[in-house]
Amino acid sequence: MDDLLREFLTETSESLDTVDNQLVKFEQEPNNAKILDNIFRLVHTIKGTCGFLGLPRLEALAHAGETLMSKFRDGMPVTAGAVTVILSSIDRIKEILAGLEATEAEPEGTDRDLIDKLEAMVEQGMAAMAAGAVADAPPLVPEAPTPVEAKAAPSKEKEMTEGTLIDQTLERPLRPGEVSLDELERAFRETAIEAPAPVVKAEPAPAAEAPAPAA
């Protein structure tokens, strides 16, 4: 067996043993960032090494799993269905590694079923995030017309003060010699009606010139 392949199988097997315990926790705590990072690094390492060793089947499956977990790390919600598909992908990777160790070559077969599910989870998660962003966006509000500046209404305190003064003035009893406002206004009106029109004096007509004496 090639030394690089042997080293790859040994390191990957040890990493899978370490991650196995965390996979159980991942089912119970799908939003645990530390567990997600550990699984992501394992799948990322498998994908990168497969490119050097010429293992296209394993590389394609690991790449699909890495893409989904990368979206989770970016904030896409982790669903129970996605966790199930990831666990199934890890189990499939173990099967491929076992066949690779036994025959020093990738087992024949296709993992299209799992890859399609992983890709579908990415699409569904991105669509859900987009729908949530649209729902959270503020509604479009038509532009309000420019308000017409209204005259400031007199303050309530001023109105009360003025009203109080007027009421006090009207209610105060007249002192000797005073007249009410109504009587004063009536007097002005009567004076304007009864006052005779001013007489315009006519100016005297100019005297006629005397005729000149006859020659």
pLDDT in tens, 159-213: 444 444 444 444 455 555 555 555 655 655 565 555 555 555 555 555 555 555 5
Q: Quick check: is 99 in a domain?
A: yes
- For the chain, the residue count is 215
Tell me the pTM. Answer: 0.60
- Using CA atoms, how far apart are residues 13 and 5, in angstroms rounded to an integer? 12
The structure tokens 């097997």 sit at 13
Q: Quick check: is 26 in a domain?
A: yes
Q: Quick check: is 198 in a domain?
A: no
Range of the domain at 95: 3-135
pLDDT at 26: 84
Q: Quick check: is 213 in a domain?
A: no
pLDDT at 203: 56
| Best CA proximity match to 23, nearest among 67, 116, 88 | 88
Spell out the residues 6+ positions from residue 73 whose beta carbon is closer than 8 angstroms to its own. 33, 36, 37, 40
Using alpha carbons, list the distances in angstroms from residue 11 to 36, 41, 69, 72, 97.
19, 13, 21, 25, 11
- Is 129 buried (19+), middle (13-18) or exposed (0-12) by CB count in 10 A? middle
Q: Quick check: is 214 in a domain?
A: no
- Using CA atoms, how far apart are residues 83 and 98, in angstroms rounded to an integer? 23
Q: Is 38 helix (H, G, I), strand (E, B) or coil?
A: helix
pLDDT at 18: 82
Q: Quick check: is 178 in a domain?
A: no
Tokens linked to 133: 């962003």
- Using CA atoms, how far apart are residues 211 and 151, in angstroms rounded to an integer? 78
Domain count, the chain: 1
Mark residue 150 as left, alpha or beta (left: phi above 0; alpha: psi -120 to 50; beta: remaining).
beta
Q: Quick check: is 203 in a domain?
A: no
pLDDT at 76: 92
Q: Which CATH number do you get for residue 108?
A: 1.20.120.160
Residue ranges, the chain, pLDDT below 50: 157-171, 215
Decide if 45 contacts 93 (C-beta within 8 A). no
Q: Quick check: is 195 in a domain?
A: no
Q: Is 213 helix (H, G, I), strand (E, B) or coil?
A: coil
Alpha-carbon dihedral 106, 108, 114, 116, rounded to 10 degrees: 110
Q: What angle (nearest 5°) sits at the alpha carbon of residue 136, between those of residues 132 and 141?
A: 140
